[in-house]
Structures are given as C-alpha cells and as structure tokens.
Amino acid sequence: MPLEMPLLTLEARATPSASAAWLSPLLALTLTAITGAAIFLVMGKSPGIALYIYFIEPLTSWSGLSEVLVKAGPLILIGVGLSIGFRAGIWNIGAEGQFIAGALLGSAPAIFFYESANPLILPLMMLLGILGGMGWAAIPAVLKTRFNANEILVSLMLVYVAELLLIHLVQGPWRNPQGWGFPGTRMFPDAALLPVLFSGYRIHLGTIIAIVLPLLVWFALAKTQFGFQIKVFGSAPLAARHAGIGEKRMIWVTLMIGGGLAGLAGVIEASSTIGQLVPKISPGYGFTAIIVAFLGRLHPVGALLAGIAIAVTYIGGEGAQISAGLPKAVTGLFQGIILFYLLAFDLLTRYRLTRITISKSAT
C-alpha cells in the first residue's frame, strides 16, 4: 500500500511575483509587530501599550511627526543612494563612514569662519559635504577598479577610520576652546544652520530635500539611459559589457552617488539638529539605511516610505525609554527583526510554497 507523505516544498516561480514584491515588506512589518509583542510579554510589559508607544504614538502629534521626518531625512538620503548602488550590484556597506566624512568636510567652513554671516556659507558647506562623502567612497572605488579589491570590506573598514578621525578632530584640533574641555567643536554660526520651517518644530530645509530627492531619482531611474544602464549592469554584467556599458564607470558612478548622498546627509545632520560636530553625530544612520534600502525594494520611493517607517522605531524607541522604561537596545532589535523577516519573505517573490505528496511503496 502506498504511504502518502504530504510535504511543503519551495517551487521556483516562472516569473517573480510582482504582488509578493510589495507584500513582503508589509508582511515583514506585521510579523515584526507580532514578534515584538511576544518579546514585550516576556519582558513583563503590556504588549498593547508598548507597541502603541513604539509604532503609533510618534504619529499622533505634530511634534512627533516632525521628529519622525527629521529622523527619516538622513535615512532616506543615504537609503536612496545605496539603492542605486545595490541595484547595480555594488555593495557599498560603508555609508556610515561617508556620512561622517561629509559631516567633517562640510562643517569645516562653519568651524573656521565661526563668526561668518555670509549667506553663501551654507551652500558651500552642502557642496563640501557631498564632496567629503564622495572622497571617502572614492577609496573603495579606486581600489576596486584598479586592484579588484572587495568594496564591501574596504568601505566597511573605512567607517572605523572615519569615526576615529572625527573623534580625533573634535577632541584635538577642532575642539571648542570655550567648551570646558568637552569633546565637540564650536557651535555653528546662524548662517551655517539650515533654516527650520515652522517655529517650534525641528523640521528643516534638509528634510524637504530628503523628501523631494527620491522623486527625482525615481524619474531618473525610469526614464534616463543612466537608469537603464544601472539596471542592466546589476542584472547581467556580461550583457552590460556587450552593450558598451563600462564596468569601471558604473562602479565609480554608483559609489559617487552613494557616497555623495551619505555625505550630504552628514553635513545636513551637523548643520541642523546638532549645530556642531560631536563625537557621536550618527546613531548608525549609515548602517540602518541599508535596511531602509532593502525594505524599500531598492526603489527610491520605497526608500522614502521605508525611511519614515524606520524613523518611527527610532522615535518610538526614545518614547519607550522614557515612558515605559524599555532599554534603547529594543530599537536595534526591531530593526534587525524587520530585516530578518524581509529577507525571509523575499524568498517568496521568487519561489512559491506548494504541497507535494511523495508516495512511497511500503515494503
């Protein structure tokens, strides 16, 4: 008699499912909330209240919304830049370092001309910020195009170099002489600060840049030859070569875009909410933006939405520390769980679950 054994198995889809591509981030967010609830329960907190503090409360007030958008700004800018590189198969993991390099170079005018009231200082800082990020990303670009060095390792290791350089500068040569020995530069002059949009809220000009930019990049990727080249280079390097899309050029361009936007995010952060350089200018934006890029399906508008979603966990995490006494580490935990579920569900865009029955003849 045959023995029926029902099993679940993965079966490759003929074409990747379009609905699954958009469904998987939503499923990932839902399961993250459920897993979060279970963790809160184990920690002895009420899951309902904790989840409310985390995910809903930040969106219930104008100041909360403003804080979310301010937090989302750098994540979106970096995430969009990384999306372009990841689409092309260039794995720039060191956006954190490029963020710091942008903040350093971009802040230099404000530190050296600390009494300046020249309105041109702000555009100059933005430009230098972009160049700083690009310069930092140029190192993996040179090493990859010249020596075929792995950009993942090079860009990642440069993060720690940038961090140490920042610490050295704010404790040494760039330290505020009137700062009572605390590490940190002078406060930037008003002319070197990005204007806030509404008094009483921290939302500023940089936030607007972060919201508009994804739309421009979306257009560029969909309509221009450059966007097409990125797509071809990422999915079929040999076809790209055949069609005359230069490998070195693509490596350079994608790393410059990723680095430039990370650098811009860095200088915006320094010249808005912080207003000076301090040893810890980034709560890990450059790394979290990798999650943002993937959560946003490597799509610029996706990165915009994902940046806001991740920003909610940051702001919610701060609220949870204050009002529910939850450790700050829970924020990182949430971000990790989201990425974990997302990668798991990504499998479903290329595979589907089917039931199979293996019949075994009984002996």
Residue 14 in the binding site for another protein (CB under 8 A): yes
- Residue of 19, 178, 225, 363 that binds another protein (CB under 8 A): 225
**Closest listed residue to residue 28, CA positions, set 354, 350, 347:** 347
Residue 357 in the binding site for another protein (CB under 8 A): no
Q: What is the DSSP string of 85-103?
A: HHHTT-----HHHHHHHHH
Q: What is the distance of C-alpha 294 from the center of its chain?
A: 9
- Residue of 44, 119, 173, 244 that binds another protein (CB under 8 A): 244
Sole window of 37-45, 113-121, 124-132, 237-245 interacting with another protein (rule: CB under 8 A): 237-245
Residues 6 or more apart whose CB falls under 8 angstroms from that of 138 comprise: 255, 256, 259
Residue 177 in the binding site for another protein (CB under 8 A): no
- Residue of 7, 8, 12, 329 that binds another protein (CB under 8 A): 12
Q: Closest distance between another protein and the C-beta of residue 198, in Å?
A: 37
| Residues in the chain, overall count | 363
Contact 85, 254 (CB under 8 A): yes
Residue 9 in the binding site for another protein (CB under 8 A): no
- At position 298, the amino acid (one-letter code) is L
Q: H-helix or E-strand containing 8?
A: strand 2-12
Neighbours of 62 (CB within 10 A): 11
Residue nearer to another protein on the CB measure, 12 or 42:
12
- Residue of 52, 113, 114, 226 that binds another protein (CB under 8 A): 226
CA atoms of 138 and 59, how far apart (whole Å): 39
Residue nearer to another protein on the CB measure, 5 or 38:
5
- Residue of 2, 9, 10, 13 that binds another protein (CB under 8 A): 13
Q: What is the gyration radius of the CA atoms in the chain, in angstroms?
A: 23
Residue 158 in the binding site for another protein (CB under 8 A): no
- In three-state secondary structure terms, 116 is coil
Total residues in contact with another protein, by rule CB under 8 A = 22
Residue 44 in the binding site for another protein (CB under 8 A): no
Please tell me what DSSP assigns to residue 296: T
Q: Closest distance between another protein and the C-beta of residue 14, in Å?
A: 5
Residues 6 or more apart whose CB falls under 8 angstroms from that of 360 comprise: 2, 3, 5
Residue 19 in the binding site for another protein (CB under 8 A): no
- Residue of 5, 10, 16, 212 that binds another protein (CB under 8 A): 16
- Residue of 49, 65, 191, 231 that binds another protein (CB under 8 A): 231
**Closest listed residue to residue 300, CA positions, set 227, 192, 202, 203:** 227
Residue nearer to another protein on the CB measure, 175 or 231:
231
Contact 237, 163 (CB under 8 A): no
Sole window of 33-41, 44-52, 236-244, 295-303 interacting with another protein (rule: CB under 8 A): 236-244
- Residue of 34, 56, 242, 327 that binds another protein (CB under 8 A): 242
Sole window of 8-16, 166-174, 187-195, 324-332 interacting with another protein (rule: CB under 8 A): 8-16
Neighbours of 93 (CB within 10 A): 21
Residue nearer to another protein on the CB measure, 242 or 328:
242
**Closest listed residue to residue 203, CA positions, set 262, 261, 264, 273:** 273
Residue 223 in the binding site for another protein (CB under 8 A): yes
Phi and psi at residue 196, to the nearest 5°: -80, 155
Q: Tell me the per-residue interface mask from 246 to 285 with another protein, x by CB under 8 A, - otherwise.
A: x---------------------------------------
Q: Interface residues with another protein (CB under 8 A)? A: 11-16, 223-226, 228, 231-232, 235-236, 238-239, 241-244, 246
